[in-house]
Structure 1
Amino acid sequence: MTSSSDKSHVHSVFESIAPKYDMMNDIISFRRHKAWRRFTMRKMDMKPGESALDLCCGTCDWTIDIAKASGSGRTVGLDFSHNMLEIGRSKIAKLELDGRIELVQGNAMALPFADNTFDCVTIGFGLRNVPDIKQVLSEMERVTKPGGQVVCLECSKPGWQPFKFFFNLYFQRIMPLLGKWFVKSYEQYRWLPESLASFPDLPRLAEMFREAGLRDVRAYPLTGGVAALHIGTKGTKDS
């Protein structure tokens, strides 16, 4: 569980790094986050007309991908950062997707939606920043329709040496320096690797998906395990 001061710190981090967030994602992931998202979209296999909720949507890159895949379906992006959402809103307007994407400033711990609302509920690179992972997964499962998907794309922890050693060196020591050099945000980018320290590894997160009531849980390590995709299905009354 995260204290209120920690939650306030997380919020201030994302409010402050919002203007350079997209650029830094490209730099620190060597643009691999784009390939990870394409892989995720293929595994999700969204159908035209399906509805989706994208939690911790940030500057809305994934939200936009989802809306394009869904077509006429309802697409909602939710984030607690006003500054992130404003950047996302600008992107959406430039792509003339204003009428197809709804943005909501809200709390992933208490979603302002009824049970069984969306065909798909996603969270990309945000689950490790929430105060209570189990609560967020429970909320995601709650608002997903029976038979729908709960999807998490997130940083993870490589398990094999020597790759694990070099990943930890990069993530803990070098990445904060990149934040300092490129966007003058050493403290903010020093916090990001700290957020991964207590985050569950791939097998444990898969188990947490099952504990949240999800079925047919699939977990995919990406780029040697530096990221991971988890997909679970909400059971139907007959299953």
Structure 2
Amino acid sequence: MTTFDHDTVVPDKDSDLSKKEQVAEMFNDIAGRYDFLNRFLSAGIDIRWRKKALGYLKELKPRYILDVATGTGDVAIMASGLLKPDKITGIDISDGMLEVGRKKVKSLGLEQQIELLNGDSETISFADNTFDAVTVAFGVRNFQQLEKGLSEILRVLKPGGKLVVLEFSKPRFPVVRTFYNIYMKVVTPGMGKLFSKNRNAYSYLDESIKKFPEGKNFTQILENLGYNNIQSTALSMGICSIYCGQK
């Protein structure tokens, strides 16, 4: 498996823990404030991004969906309303995030449709050809080994099944990029420190976005791993991108 620059980006460079362990610990620390900070820092636009990403699955009409790096279950909950599948399984390595997500699922009465489990993208505990669709929203940057996680997703997809990835990217236009860089370097870490006890979380966000193999680099990775019908769509002047691939 190839090692990419973003694979080596960790929340705490002085820690002896692996990236996976550090990411789990980081999200456990910020879980209680995660949804609030998402809405606040993105001015709510992240909801529109998720809705747009799930729109790429409407034609497929998936019955069984896996949501990798499900976090607090936002995509799983939205997918249950938009796509009406029989079952959505969300997996995440952070018990703290899952606890928040399960409370949301229960409060909405969706326990029969949505199950949130502790699970690792690189060792997905489901058989080959299990899911009609797999979603990953703002999670592939956190994979310890990007290719291994994407290969596991391909394994559990049914033939004809579809992967939809929603991930941050770098704006293409110079003026937008300048304001974006200031926001990510100053505003986001500042607000993260104000509302979260984990001081590294939102600095890690900026660095991991910068080093992530976005755009054509990411679609090339999907192609090399065996995905077909690959698409890439930039949103909000390139701040975010949707990637799709089929088995």
TM-score, structure 1 as length reference: 0.92
Pairwise CA RMSD: 1.6
Deviates more, 1:176-185 or 1:59-68: 176-185
Say whether residues 1:65 and 2:69 are aligned partners: no
The amino acid of 2:190's aligned partner reads L
Say whether residues 1:150 and 2:179 are aligned partners: no
**Paired position in structure 2 for 1:12:** 25
Structure 2 CA distance for aligned equivalents of residues 5 and 218 of structure 1: 32
DSSP 3-state at the match of 1:77: strand
Structure 1 CA distance for aligned equivalents of residues 89 and 59 of structure 2: 15
Deviation at 1:202, TM superposition (A): 1.3
Structure 1 CA distance for aligned equivalents of residues 120 and 133 of structure 2: 18
Deviation at 1:197, TM superposition (A): 2.3
Deviates more, 1:120-129 or 1:70-79: 70-79
The answer to whether the 8 A contact 1:48-1:69 is kept is no
Say whether residues 1:192 and 2:194 are aligned partners: no
Say whether residues 1:81 and 2:126 are aligned partners: no
The answer to whether the 8 A contact 2:235-2:242 is kept is yes
Structure 1 moving runs of 4+ over 6 Å = none
Task: State the Cα deviation string for residues 120-149 of structure 1 (Å, max 9, x = none).
Answer: 011110100111111111111110011110
Structure 2 CA distance for aligned equivalents of residues 24 and 147 of structure 1: 36
40 and 72 in structure 1: CA distance in 2 versus 1, 3 angstrom threshold: closer
Deviation at 1:76, TM superposition (A): 0.2
Structure 2 CA distance for aligned equivalents of residues 188 and 213 of structure 1: 33
The answer to whether the 8 A contact 1:46-1:69 is kept is no
Matches within 5 A, 1:126-165: 126-165=139-178
Q: How many residues align?
A: 234
Deviation at 1:157, TM superposition (A): 1.1
**Paired position in structure 2 for 1:24:** 37
Structure 1 CA distance for aligned equivalents of residues 61 and 180 of structure 2: 38
Deviates more, 1:34-43 or 1:80-89: 34-43
**Paired position in structure 1 for 2:214:** 201
More contact order relative to length (CA 8 Å, sep ≥ 6): 2
Deviates more, 1:128-137 or 1:162-171: 162-171
* Aligned residue among 180, 192, 205 for 1:167: 180
The amino acid of 2:104's aligned partner reads K
DSSP 3-state at the match of 1:59: coil
The amino acid of 2:80's aligned partner reads A
DSSP 3-state at the match of 2:70: coil
The amino acid of 2:242's aligned partner reads L
For structure 1, the 5+ residue unaligned runs are 235-239
Structure 2 CA distance for aligned equivalents of residues 85 and 197 of structure 1: 27
DSSP 3-state at the match of 1:108: coil
Structure 2 CA distance for aligned equivalents of residues 87 and 107 of structure 1: 18
